[in-house]
Structure 1
Amino acid sequence: MGLARFALVLSMVAGSAGASPSGEWQPSGKWVVRFEKNQCMALRGFVRGDRKITVGFESKFLSPYYSVLFEMPGSPTGLGLDRASLVVGRERQPSRSALIGPSKKSGFQIISFTATDKQLEDLEAHPWVQFSAAGKTIRVPVTSFRSVQELLDRCEAQVLASWGFSFADQARIATYPKTGKGLLNVFTADDYPSSALKRDAVGQVDLRAMVGLDGKARDCVIVRSSGHPDLDTATCALFIQRNRYSPGVATDGRPMVAPVFVTVRWLMG
């Protein structure tokens, strides 16, 4: 399992988020793996003076993309945030596709980005990330990336096994199911549930399903809810009804039943 499965998480645990780009954050502990809501997370604390943050990588199963999250004080609006940006490694063009959601911590919000796996590959040679929002910037060193990758690989293998895809099947598969359709061809603006439209409800839904030898997805399970039952229900129903895959392929060239993991964002405007 490669770099494509990871999502970076920045979690504010104490103090202000106002560190300057030239500020140096030092690790305050070792990488720790945490399993939460069917996701694997490797976390590490950092300090700068009396300020503390937690940096981590969250697995994003079987996908060429990852989500970058930053938890900070504030009230979530559930809307896109145009003034936020994320820079990974030496990249020149920051990621600006952001979504705001609630945090488990009272008075906090989570800003989520989507970016490509190429950014994570650059972390090995240029180990830092920089997040900016509302006039505040944090630049954090991210070292020992390969060791983080190994920790998450082991955690992810255990999660896939818990989904019914055994360690033996994981060793046997050469290619996971692929779809010729982009999500924009599966979900359209007309699919937005009317009940959600009336409430201006937005959110992100993570789902998993098993793809059979016939290429049809079955057994859709919501891994992470949007917080809106109507959006969750519509996501699984439309995904099962419309999406078709090329089945997984084993090392001997034969098709095999295998899982897929999909993230769907419901936005307005």
Structure 2
Amino acid sequence: MIRAVIAAMSWLVVAAVATDDAGAQQAIPNSPGWQMAYEADMCVLSRAYATKSGEFVFGIRSTLPGVDMVGLQIVTEGMTSRKRERQLATISVPGQDQLWQGEVTLWPAPKLKQTLILGSVPRTLLTPIAAAQEVTIAVAGQEPVTLPISAAKQALKALEACEADFAKTLGIDAAQSMNVKTPAEPAKTVGDWIRFEDYPKSALQAGVGGTVSILWEVDKQGKIASCRTIKTSGREDLDKAACDALMKRARFNRPALDAAGNPVASYGTRQVVWAIP
């Protein structure tokens, strides 16, 4: 079956993954510190660790200041997957049973002997992670990994600076984006905005896929005002299909709100991965 895979876009409320932090692999930092990468369509904050199973790179992907969700990005040699699949995952810190639970997508890279793990987590998760001494990440079917955390607060400031720069390149006022205190409320599950039937026939017939990054604006009335490509897939039909589907289905119960509860315009970004299994 042909389907469009929405990377780091959908999130579900699911049963918790049972983890035993005491039995987790203890990782050791194998890099001088946090690395801040300015990508064409996002900011990526990461740190590399060494585990008994190999290298483990923990990363946070973000775009604009104030956007309520950020991307979780892990590159690991220790978690193996033979096929692209979705699994349950948890993030926890000492003193709290669980900070987050949800689904992640595992993308195997056999030739590199690595697995790429992508997910989407609330931005509010970053504060307790930065304040903790360590964080434990568990993916169903894999051995949990505990990462020592240090200098994370300074790293988050670097991430915020990157987000402000990224907003400027898109012609967006970073202060306006930061003004959002309560995000716009989707009327339906965000993961339902783009479906497999949206796959362009031209790309399907050619047997090709691609990844496109899109940006949309929700106005003060809670309606989608615009959608545009911020990083092309390399095919106009795939880029256009992503925004067309979003403009067709994205609906909100209410707009974003500022600290005083007033309606304000807001933005959202996601990567859309068109793939033929």
Normalising TM by the smaller chain, what interval?
0.5 to 0.7
SS of residue paired to 2:106: strand
- For the residues of structure 2 that align with 1:251 and 1:93, how far apart are their CA atoms? 24
Greater alpha carbon shift after TM alignment, 25-34 vs 181-190:
181-190
Q: Give the drift of 1:94.
A: 7.0
Match of 1:141 in 2: 148
| Higher normalized contact order (CA 8 Å, seq sep 6+, divided by chain length) | 2
Normalised to the residue count of structure 1, the TM-score between the two structures is 0.65
Match of 2:32 in 1: 29
Match of 1:66 in 2: 70
- For the residues of structure 2 that align with 1:249 and 1:134, how far apart are their CA atoms? 40
Q: Does 1:55 align with 2:63?
A: no
Q: Give the drift of 1:218.
A: 1.8
Amino acid at match of 1:37: A
Greater alpha carbon shift after TM alignment, 39-48 vs 68-77:
68-77
Cα pair distance change 1:144/1:193, threshold 3 Å: same
Amino acid at match of 2:85: G
SS of residue paired to 1:38: coil
Structure 2's unaligned 5+ residue stretches are 1-22
| Candidates 199, 204, 215, aligned match of 1:208 | 215
Cα pair distance change 1:235/1:179, threshold 3 Å: farther
Q: Does 1:221 align with 2:229?
A: yes
Q: Give the drift of 1:243.
A: 3.0
Q: Say if 2:203 and 2:238, in contact at 8 Å, map to a contact too.
A: yes
Question: How is 1:1-269 mapped onto 2 (pairs within 5 angstroms)?
Answer: 21-26=24-29, 28-47=31-50, 51-61=54-64, 62-73=66-77, 77=83, 79-82=84-87, 85-89=89-93, 90-92=96-98, 95=101, 97-101=103-107, 106-117=112-123, 119-123=125-129, 124-125=131-132, 127-132=134-139, 135-167=142-174, 169=176, 173-174=179-180, 178-182=184-188, 183=190, 186-187=193-194, 190-191=197-198, 206-211=213-218, 215-223=223-231, 225=233, 232-244=239-251, 259-262=267-270
Normalised to the residue count of structure 2, the TM-score between the two structures is 0.63
Q: Say if 2:216 and 2:228, in contact at 8 Å, map to a contact too.
A: yes
Amino acid at match of 1:259: Y
Amino acid at match of 2:166: V
Cα pair distance change 1:29/1:207, threshold 3 Å: same
Cα pair distance change 1:127/1:224, threshold 3 Å: farther
Q: Say if 1:210 and 1:220, in contact at 8 Å, map to a contact too.
A: no
CA RMSD of aligned residues (A): 4.5
Matched length: 245
Q: Say if 2:200 and 2:241, in contact at 8 Å, map to a contact too.
A: yes
Q: Say if 1:165 and 1:259, in contact at 8 Å, map to a contact too.
A: no
**Aligned-residue identity in percent:** 19
Q: Say if 2:63 and 2:166, in contact at 8 Å, map to a contact too.
A: no
Q: Give the drift of 1:29.
A: 0.8
Structure 1's unaligned 5+ residue stretches are 1-19
Amino acid at match of 2:128: D
Amino acid at match of 1:113: G
Cα pair distance change 1:204/1:65, threshold 3 Å: farther
Q: Say if 1:21 and 1:139, in contact at 8 Å, map to a contact too.
A: yes
Amino acid at match of 2:226: R
- For the residues of structure 1 that align with 2:237 and 2:215, how far apart are their CA atoms? 18
Match of 1:8 in 2: none
SS of residue paired to 1:122: helix
Greater alpha carbon shift after TM alignment, 235-244 vs 178-187:
178-187
Q: Say if 1:76 and 1:109, in contact at 8 Å, map to a contact too.
A: no
Q: Give the drift of 1:139.
A: 1.9
